[in-house]
Amino acid sequence: MSISNKLARTWVLGGLLALASSSAQEVYLINATSVPAISVTIDGRPFYPFFPQGLYTGGSATDRAAVVYQIKDLRGEKERSLTMNYQPRSRQALVIHGDFTPSADKNSRRHAAFPNVKLFPLDLTPPKDEPRLRYHLVNLIPNQTLRLLANPEPIDIPCGQILTLSGQKPLVTLTVQVADRHLPVLIHQRRVLRDCHLIFYETGAGASFIRFFTPIPAAGDEPEEE
């Protein structure tokens, strides 16, 4: 498996964040699919008609407890509808991943083949009992176990799991092993310090990762760090 050592692109697609009520949820979308670009329709509205791989959206808000996402591979007609349930006042990122290949639904009597697309939620609410900074390593590479090369012993991260590193420095290089390759991941923060999710995924041509820094909370929610 080839590994891209280029840092994830930091372009952000536009999004509207305007909390409609005290119970609204704040949601960010991250495209970690294995196809070049997708479109995303939310509750019947085409919010993101062109959403390239490796990018993420600005924050948006919803009052709905259940939101329907229609996700389409722009190379063809493959698409899938998925529903996400939210808790009131939650703050999270939703990672879209998969390669759109046919996958049988084990719950279907006819075993209909649905495109392989999934939603992986990331909770952006900071726990009060963990020291800052926190870096989260998310393994979404199918059938692969990531290994963080750390002292005193390396740490394995199975597919679909998250490893949380608490009390980290703003300048650090993490070395992650994928198969027989070593991938150095640099995190360099200045002034405002934020938690970071490192999302490892399959691009179709090899493995890559996205660096998603937790957005700064609205004024009054949490003070900024200088």
Establish if 17 belongs to a structural domain: yes
> Which amino acid is located at 212 in the chain?
F
In-domain check, residue 5: no
For residue 221, what pLDDT is reported?
44
Write out the DSSP string of 80-143: EEEEEE--TT-EEEEEEEE---EEE-TT-TT--EEE--EEEEEE-SPPTTSPSPEEEEEEESTT
Q: What is the pLDDT of residue 169?
A: 95
Kindly state whether residue 114 falls inside one of the protein's structural domains.
yes
Residue 129 is predicted with a pLDDT of 78
pLDDT at 210: 96
What does pLDDT average to over the chain? 85
CA distance 181 to 126: 32
Give domain status of residue 223, yes or no: no
* H-helix segments, 38-154: none
pLDDT at 222 over 70: no
Is 105 a residue whose pLDDT tops 50?
yes
Q: Within a domain: residue 24? A: yes
**Has residue 150 been placed in a domain?**
yes
Please indicate, yes or no, if residue 7 is contained in any of the structural domains.
no
Domain that holds residue 111: 12-213
**Segment 113-139 mean pLDDT:** 90
Residue 159's φ and ψ, nearest 5 degrees, are: -60, 135
Question: Is 85 contained in some domain?
Answer: yes
What is the arithmetic mean of pLDDT over 55-66?
92
User: Into how many domains does the chain fold?
Assistant: 1
